[in-house]
Structure 1
Amino acid sequence: MKIMPLEQRGISTSRLILGCMPFGGGWNEEPVREDHVLQAERAVDAALSIGISMFDHANIYTRGKAEETFGKLLKARPGLREQIVLQSKCGIRFAEGDIPGRYDFSKEHILESVNGILQRLGTDYLDILLLHRPDPLMEPEEVAEAFGKLKSSGKVRYFGVSNMSAAQIRFLEKALPEPLVVNQLELSLERLDFVDQGVHINQKAGTAVNFAEGLLEYCQFNRVQIQSWGPLAQGKFSGRSLDDQPENIKNTAALVQQLAQEKGTTAEAIVLGWLMRHPAMIQPVIGTANPERIQACRDAEAQSRQMTREEWYKLYVTSRGVALP
């Protein structure tokens, strides 16, 4: 049986992750309310009930309130922290006055961000810290200094990135004493560029593909855990209204429902199972706080193991909307 890259590095984790972006109410300055904490608690309990032990945050989610909400939950259940893997991100900064939204991988911002993350979560350490989106002004040596301080102080155990190409990862790693362990990317049965990029080698159609060449192969070869954000494609294949969607999406949703009925499972399990069937051992980040929808993902890993090559290709080609070259 294949072992996930994170497991290979000694990080005990679940095959699925719960993304905590919906926690804490709206993206505003309103304070965290008790009902926000109760909503998060129901979501976390649903996740734990299906074996999810890893939780994904970012310091910007609901302007910090997602982490604050989770921190209140951890405070009420102190034994939970050592049973889970906590991951957060930094590097995105909101617009301020006439200063636009921007990315910031400066040493000062990384250190300041982690201090804020830990304070909001009410924990002494993060298992994994990700740099959220590529900063054009990134200086690897400066990032390495920040990571070194965070590692030596015990504030962060491992480091990774999000939305980076293989070249960007290599450029950053040249200054790091330890390899990066995660790259989080948008991948789903709707966002197919990660598959199309390989299929369209030596094809004119490949010029329209928006995915970094060789990225999947690089991550697989170097034991970088690929995580998928948006893996359920905002529910387009599992019950969301499709009146405004193109035919390929409607046809794929119908196929997903057909397979779910034939296999006695849920549409969510089929959609995630398709993603997890890929040999890169992709780890989906489920971005919902709805307990029923979280529990609907219970069967995903089993469906990934049972999915035939023919079923996988049928889903892929149907979602593409055009035959393979």
Structure 2
Amino acid sequence: MKYFKIANTDLNVSNVVMGNMRLTQLAKPDIEVLIRTALEEGINFFDHADIYGAGECETLFSDAIQMNPSIREKMIIQSKCGIRPPEKMYDFSKEHIISSTEAILNRLQTDYLDILLLHRPDTLVEPTEVAEAFEELHRSGKVKYFGVSNHTPMQIELLQKYIPQKLVVNQLQLSIVHTPIIDSGIALNMGIDQSINRDSSVLDYCRLKDITVQAWSPYQKGFFDGPFLGDYENYAELNDLIKELAIKYEVTDTAIATAWITRHPANIQVVLGTTNKERLADACKGSDLPLSRKEWYDLYRLAGHMIP
């Protein structure tokens, strides 16, 4: 397992993350096995959100491992807030951020979060309110560091103008097939659809600002459109190459798909959403797998992207 230090923190993190969005699909004993497998494979970073299972996933997580100080110190725990599904809206008000965090800590049975992320941009945000909420949470020791998820560079700049704490993470969707944060930079000046900059050069921005990118849905075709691994109807050549590389490196297809992300020099963390302990272990084999430059670009090209 590869580890690196998130800039502007004291956190030495695994570049593969256990995501906990689907824990409600498992029985308590299976959740414990999944978490133990993650720890045995070298994962020390665990991602949550207050909307996962309407909060139940956080409760299931802490109950399954019987959360206590000795277990807690082995983990880097991150959660997210700001989405209010029942009302179909986002909320970055001071009151909501603080109350959400208190509820998260209660469900996780811990005194603090290592990182708190704002989940999706609230266009009605008052940055001074966010700053006040973050300052209160930081001063009380309830949150060590802060970040965002699915935010553009200018949305981050707006927040950072008022927030004294450095925003250290931006969680973004990325897989071999879903690559908008990469595409336009490769196809600049080509006058094709791929050349359209839909993400405001967010990957380059995060590298310039020392913000760690976390890749969610690393095996999905699009926004929960299903996995590309094994999809021979739409991605036959890509899957053939993935299998070829899996044989070469003596790993599984999942490890190759993981390695395509971890090969990027931005030190991107890969957030796994699987509830299958074997697949989780397979993914970890891609943590530090040395894909060549040609192999990386061949995978990108066979996923349907242009390399001019």
Per the alignment, residue 170 of structure 1 pairs with 157
Per the alignment, residue 31 of structure 1 pairs with none
Residue 259 of structure 1 aligns with an amino acid whose one-letter code is L
Evaluate the alpha carbon distance shift between residue 201 and residue 3 of structure 1 in structure 2; reply closer, same or farther with a 3 A threshold: farther
Per the alignment, residue 11 of structure 1 pairs with 11
- Give the Cα–Cα distance (whole angstroms) in 1 for the partners of residues 29 and 196 of structure 2: 42
- Give the Cα–Cα distance (whole angstroms) in 1 for the partners of residues 42 and 148 of structure 2: 25
Residue 215 of structure 2 aligns with an amino acid whose one-letter code is S
Question: Number of paired residues?
Answer: 303
Could you report, residue by residue, the CA deviation over 1:81-130 in whole angstroms, capped at 9, with x for unpaired residues?
Answer: 011100000000012xxxx4110000000001001000100100000000
- Give the Cα–Cα distance (whole angstroms) in 1 for the partners of residues 116 and 243 of structure 2: 37
**Structure 2 residues without counterparts, runs of 5 or longer:** none
Per the alignment, residue 148 of structure 2 pairs with 161
Could you report, residue by residue, the CA deviation over 1:253-294 in whole angstroms, capped at 9, with x for unpaired residues?
Answer: 121111101221111111111111111111000111210110
Could you report, residue by residue, the CA deviation over 1:190-237 in whole angstroms, capped at 9, with x for unpaired residues?
Answer: 101122121122221256746322211111111100000001227734
Q: Which one of 78, 89, 104 corresponds to residue 91 of structure 2?
A: 104
1:186 corresponds to 2:173: yes
Evaluate the alpha carbon distance shift between residue 109 and residue 6 of structure 1 in structure 2; reply closer, same or farther with a 3 A threshold: same
Q: Which one of 242, 258, 271 corresponds to residue 256 of structure 1?
A: 242
State the identity %.
42
Could you report, residue by residue, the CA deviation over 1:33-92 in whole angstroms, capped at 9, with x for unpaired residues?
Answer: xx6321211111111111000000000001111000012134356521011100000000
**Structure 1 residues without counterparts, runs of 5 or longer:** 26-34
Judge conservation of contact 2:77–2:113 (CA < 8 Å) in 1.
yes
Q: Which one of 44, 52, 60 corresponds to residue 53 of structure 1?
A: 44
For residue 132 of structure 2, give the secondary structure of its aligned residue in structure 1: helix
Q: Which one of 44, 57, 79 corresponds to residue 66 of structure 1?
A: 57
Say which is worse superposed, 249-258 or 199-208, in terms of deviation.
199-208
1:93 corresponds to 2:87: no
- Give the Cα–Cα distance (whole angstroms) in 1 for the partners of residues 247 and 117 of structure 2: 38
- Give the Cα–Cα distance (whole angstroms) in 2 for the partners of residues 5 and 102 of structure 1: 34
1:308 corresponds to 2:292: yes
Per the alignment, residue 20 of structure 2 pairs with 20
Evaluate the alpha carbon distance shift between residue 210 and residue 37 of structure 1 in structure 2; reply closer, same or farther with a 3 A threshold: farther
Residue 44 of structure 1 aligns with an amino acid whose one-letter code is I
Evaluate the alpha carbon distance shift between residue 5 and residue 77 of structure 1 in structure 2; reply closer, same or farther with a 3 A threshold: closer
TM-score, length basis structure 1 = 0.88
Residue 149 of structure 2 aligns with an amino acid whose one-letter code is S
Q: Which one of 191, 194, 200 corresponds to residue 213 of structure 1?
A: 200
- Give the Cα–Cα distance (whole angstroms) in 2 for the partners of residues 265 and 136 of structure 1: 43
Per the alignment, residue 280 of structure 1 pairs with 266
1:83 corresponds to 2:74: yes
- Give the Cα–Cα distance (whole angstroms) in 1 for the partners of residues 32 and 69 of structure 2: 13
Q: Which one of 94, 115, 119 corresponds to residue 102 of structure 2?
A: 115
Judge conservation of contact 2:182–2:203 (CA < 8 Å) in 1.
no
Say which is worse superposed, 4-13 or 218-227, in terms of deviation.
4-13
Judge conservation of contact 2:3–2:12 (CA < 8 Å) in 1.
no
Per the alignment, residue 284 of structure 2 pairs with 298
TM-score, length basis structure 2 = 0.93
Evaluate the alpha carbon distance shift between residue 272 and residue 165 of structure 1 in structure 2; reply closer, same or farther with a 3 A threshold: same
Residue 119 of structure 2 aligns with an amino acid whose one-letter code is H
Judge conservation of contact 1:133–1:163 (CA < 8 Å) in 2.
yes
Instruction: Quote how far apart the aligned CAs of 1:308 are.
Output: 0.8
- Give the Cα–Cα distance (whole angstroms) in 1 for the partners of residues 194 and 241 of structure 2: 29
Could you report, residue by residue, the CA deviation over 1:151-208 in whole angstroms, capped at 9, with x for unpaired residues?
Answer: 0111100000000011110010000112100000000111011221211222212567
For residue 223 of structure 1, give the secondary structure of its aligned residue in structure 2: coil
